[in-house]
Structure formats: structure tokens, C-alpha cells
Structure 1
Amino acid sequence: MYLGVKTEGDTDYLVMENSVYGFVRPCVMDLKMGTKTYGEDATPEKIAREEKKYPPQKTLGFRFVGMKVWQPATESYSKTEREWCMAIDETTVGAGLERFFDNGTDALRKDVVSDVRDQIEKIKLTLENHPFMRLYGSSLLVVYEGDPSASNKKPLVKMIDFAHPFPINDGGVDTGYILGCSTILTELERITH
């Protein structure tokens, strides 16, 4: 979240919220949302380049950018690499999401899954009921506390990276972003049952 401008000497700095502030061992996942990562003003060359980058995004409505998950047993983070993120497809997306809620113990963090699911459902409903922008290249940032002995800080889901917003003038909705939310919600529902 943008918090203003801070001036030091002759230089102005943007002040942004630190989304992991207050977490002891933050587990963090970045999901690039929508079926398109390019704006409505993109050139045919840019469209071709972006669509070639990760074809499953058209059917999933999102892609993994990266994640890190605290593993209490080893007292270290498990992190994904770009190659892992780009290898996820329609058949492995559920396992990809499960990995984020797996801290190396015998059970997935289903308590966190439910909370994250509820927050994504609210985002999806807002996009459906109050359409005003299509957000190309935007992300969902998901954070939860990985340290089991830390205070019980509530998981958070934030919409971030608004580099390519375009007003909705055709009476529609941001179908790409909504598809991504729906895919994630379906997989999270499966994880909790």
C-alpha cells in the first residue's frame, strides 16, 4: 500500500507498506493474476511474447511467480525457482498450491487455507459486483505466519502491482482475474476436504 512520499535531502522516496511486518517467519506467495499479463495497448509483438511465456495462464487465470515457506523442522525456508513456477500446468496447479501450505510436518496448514480462501472469495466477489478496472499484470500476495511458536497473526491476501489498469467501458468485468480467483478457490476447497 502506498503511504506517501518522504523527502531526505534533495531526494523524494515513495513510502510503501511492508506486508510482512509483524510476522516472525513469513511464508509468502506471489501469484500473477489474470489470463493476460499485457495491457490493452500492447503491440502484437508484446502480446505474442507474453502469451508464449506461460501458455497455461489462459486456462488457469494465474501463474506462480514464487513462494517461500518456513520449515520448522529444518529451521530454513523452502523456496521455489522460476523453472518450478513455469512448469506448473493444469494438472499440477493443485499440488503447487498445496506446497505453499506444507511446512514439512505431517499435516497441511488447513487453518491457514480456510482463511486465505475466505479472503480470495471476497476479492472475487468485489471484482464481480463492482467492476471498474481490468488489472493486467497484477498479483495476489499471500502471507501467513510460519513459526508455530509465534503469535497467531492472521494470514493476509493483498492485491498488488497495478502497473497496467484499464477502465472497464464495455459493461463487462475482469474475467481473467476472476477466472484466476475461481481456479485458486476450487483448488483450496479441494485441499481443505
Structure 2
Amino acid sequence: VAAALDSYEMQKTKVKRVGDDAILPLLGSRSINQMVVAQVFRHTSNPLLPGPPASPPHFLKGWFSSLTLPNPRQVSSSLSPFWSHYPLNSSSRSLQPLNSFFWIKAKVTLTCRFQKNHWQKIRTMVNLPVISPFKKRYAWVQLAGHTGSFKAAGTSGLILKRCSEPERYCLARLMADALRGCVPAFHGVVERDGESYLQLQDLLDGFDGPCVLDCKMGVRTYLEEELTKARERPKLRKDMYKKMLAVDPEAPTEEEHAQRAVTKPRYMQWREGISSSTTLGFRIEGIKKADGSCSTDFKTTRSREQVLRVFEEFVQGDEEVLRRYLNRLQQIRDTLEVSEFFRRHEVIGSSLLFVHDHCHRAGVWLIDFGKTTPLPDGQILDHRRPWEEGNREDGYLLGLDNLIGILASLAER
């Protein structure tokens, strides 16, 4: 913190040292983060603010006047919503934790300049936010997965994912397999708020404004056991009928329309059939662009040409990014073909995560192993043979072959 302030932020924000005390850092190398400023001043251990004010205190407004901002008055008034949105804990006046920030305890001296051009020192204990774009980064992941599965780790370069035993089992074994470099690094299990989390490498770390694409691999995204159980205990699902209806009003049969419900096996197989999963061995689940916009409207993206157009839009003509994606996919395929783990596991519901940025950095990783299951002793999979119920083939390499072919075609255009 001190080094960052000495090198940049002290001069930019006109915050100065007072004796040997620490100083208030406004972290962020490009601009003042208004939300963080409001939280720092709002959430203090000492009762600087007796109650939830309707607007920022006068010293905050004065302090803003010393910054190089387009309109200090407008910026100050724009902070008002944050004051009511993050109320103090009335008993302890401590900061309520937020998933989108990491928090550390530090003694600081707040030095604020007033309109009259003099300085006032306020010594207190505050929770300093170390800005993390966790919430912004991972919103798209939750669109493609289970809401609330991810959490900030509190350590740079790491992320927490809610633990499931099948995924923990797979990640532990992958760390000793040839595929180690193709998956997020696994750093064990930690406890947070009474729940267990997998501590994983943050794959977006090191990218500047990353663009992200989630590609679900395989000809099916359900286990054979799921299909068997659903048939043994058939249950009509109104929610799945509504999902089917939203995509294609003509998809349900007359009987299903009359019942206004479908069974899970019927829905699962219909879902794979309308996408490219059945035909190409993969499907696009979601995309997040650098501007933060997300799209998951790929349910009926089925043909090679449709998929090619999606990737063409995703890479935005960046030939270097496309080349790196192709090289990485070929490397992953070579590694899969010699991986002992891959030969002996049915890989269902796993994705390839594509990430790139405007600096031409690009990477692809295998993620999501919650439905990856070991095969009986002595059985291995080809991962290219057509799936027939009972053979447990997943079509992973079939999908990867098609994906590489599509990106190679795009590179030739």
C-alpha cells in the first residue's frame, strides 16, 4: 500500500503523510473509485458519523474538491446512494463484508483538504478495501453455472468455488496428471462461513478487461445414471415444460401440452438435440465481452456456420488471439490423448473456458468437473465413439476435433 501511494496515488490524490502514521490509500491505478471512497469514509470503527446521513459529510465533499475531477459537486452528490445502500452495523459500526472486495485492517490517518485550502487530520481505524473485480468478473460464470457458486478468496490470483466431493476428487488427481497445465491449479479446500470451498487459480488474473466464452463439451451434459433414475421414477416437470415452450412452442407433444409438463429425460434429450451438442459434440453456453455485457442466447446455435459466426464475433478480428486459441486447443487435445485420468473418466458437463483481452493475451482451460466420474476398473473410453446408452462415451474428443476444425476454418478466412 505504502509503495503504491509513494509511486503514484499520493501525487494524484493530494493525500499526504502525517508524521509516522500510515495514510489513506485510494487504490486503483487509473481513476478514483467513488464507491470505495464512500465505503472507506462511511464504514469506520470510530463513530465519525453518528447515523446514516442523507449525503456525504462536509469533509468528504471538501476532500473531493482537491481532486482532478470533471465536476466535483456532481461526483460528491452521486455518492449519496452508497450511504444508504451500505448501512453501518448499529452495535459495532463495523463494515459489512461484501463478496466483491477483499478487506484488511489497518491504522490510517485521513487527511482531507477543505474548500478553504487547509488540511484536517482524522485518525481512526478503518477497513481498507483492496479493489477486486471479482463480482464483475464472475457474473458471467454464474449465468452458465449455479448462482452463488463462487466467492472471493481474499488472496490475489485465487478464487473460491463451492465444494462438491466429485469435483474435489477430480482436481486432486488432475494435479498429478498430464492435464495439470490444462486445468486451474487446485490449492485444497478451505472453510468459509460454515461451508467448504475449493481454492482454485483465478483464470482471469493477468487479463485486462477479459472477454470470456464458456463452451460445454461432449455430446450430452447428463450422466447415464441421471437418465436411468429419471426413468425409474418419472416425474412431470412444469418448470422444464416452460423452458421448452420458451424456446420452441411447437416442441411439446399434444399430451405434454395437455399436462403442461414434461419428464426430465424428455427435456434433457430435447435440450441436447436443439443445440450443437448432439451434432458437433459441444455447445456455446455463454459469452462475456470486455464491456461487461453478457449473452447466453445460444440454445439453438446448432450448425458449424452458426458456431463459426459466434467465434468470429467473439475474437473481433484479432488474428493473434485466434492463432493462440488454435495452438492451445491443439496442445490440450494432444495432452488429453495421453492423459491417464482422461482415459479412465467419463467427463460430463465440463467446459472449455476461453479468455482473451485487448493485449492479445489468450488462454483456454478445462473447468467444471462436478459430473466427471471414474469408470469401473479395466474400462477406458475413446471419447470419440458415438454414445449408446450403457457405453458411457461422452464425445469429448469428437467435440474438440470439431471445435479445432471450426476455428481453423475461421483463421483461413
TM-score grouping bracket, smaller chain normalisation: 0.7 to 0.9
Identify if the C-alpha distance between structure 1 residues 8 and 61 changes in structure 2 by more than 3 Å, giving closer, same or farther: closer
Q: SS state of the match for residue 192, structure 1?
A: helix
Aligned to 1:34: 218
Indicate the structure (1 or 2) with the bigger Cα radius of gyration.
2
Identify if the C-alpha distance between structure 1 residues 92 and 11 changes in structure 2 by more than 3 Å, giving closer, same or farther: closer
Aligned to 2:411: 192
Measure how far apart 1:12 and its partner are. Answer: 4.8
Aligned to 1:144: 356
Normalized per residue, which structure has more strand?
1
Measure how far apart 1:134 and its partner are. Answer: 2.1
Question: Are positions 1:98 and 2:98 aligned together?
Answer: no
Does the Cα contact within 8 Å between 2:222 and 2:268 map onto a contact in 1?
A: yes
TM-score, scaled to structure 2: 0.40
CA separation in 2, counterparts of 1:123 and 1:95? 23
Task: Give RMSD over aligned pairs.
Answer: 2.2
> What's the CA shift string for 1:41-96, capped at 9, x where partnerless?
222444432221131311111111101222xxxxx34432x3x2112111411111
Aligned to 2:294: 79
Q: What is the aligned-residue identity percentage?
A: 28
From 322, 335, 345, the equivalent of 1:133 is 345
Amino acid at match of 1:100: F
Q: SS state of the match for residue 225, structure 2?
A: coil
Equivalent residue runs for 1:26-65 within 5 Å: 26-44=210-228, 45=230, 46-55=264-273, 56-65=276-285
CA separation in 1, counterparts of 2:379 and 2:192? 44
From 200, 207, 212, the equivalent of 1:23 is 207
Greater RCO structure (CA 8 Å; 6+ sep) = 1
Identify if the C-alpha distance between structure 1 residues 43 and 9 changes in structure 2 by more than 3 Å, giving closer, same or farther: closer
Q: SS state of the match for residue 136, structure 1?
A: coil
Measure how far apart 1:173 and its partner are. Answer: 1.7
From 367, 377, 380, the equivalent of 1:160 is 367
Aligned to 2:107: none
Does the Cα contact within 8 Å between 2:211 and 2:288 map onto a contact in 1?
A: yes
Does the Cα contact within 8 Å between 2:346 and 2:381 map onto a contact in 1?
A: no
Aligned to 1:180: 399
Structure 1: runs of 5 or more not aligned: 71-75, 103-107
CA separation in 1, counterparts of 2:372 and 2:195? 28
Q: SS state of the match for residue 67, structure 1?
A: strand
Aligned to 2:236: none
Q: SS state of the match for residue 43, structure 1?
A: helix
Does the Cα contact within 8 Å between 2:219 and 2:396 map onto a contact in 1?
A: yes
Does the Cα contact within 8 Å between 2:279 and 2:302 map onto a contact in 1?
A: no
CA separation in 2, counterparts of 1:167 and 1:10? 29
Q: SS state of the match for residue 16, structure 1?
A: strand
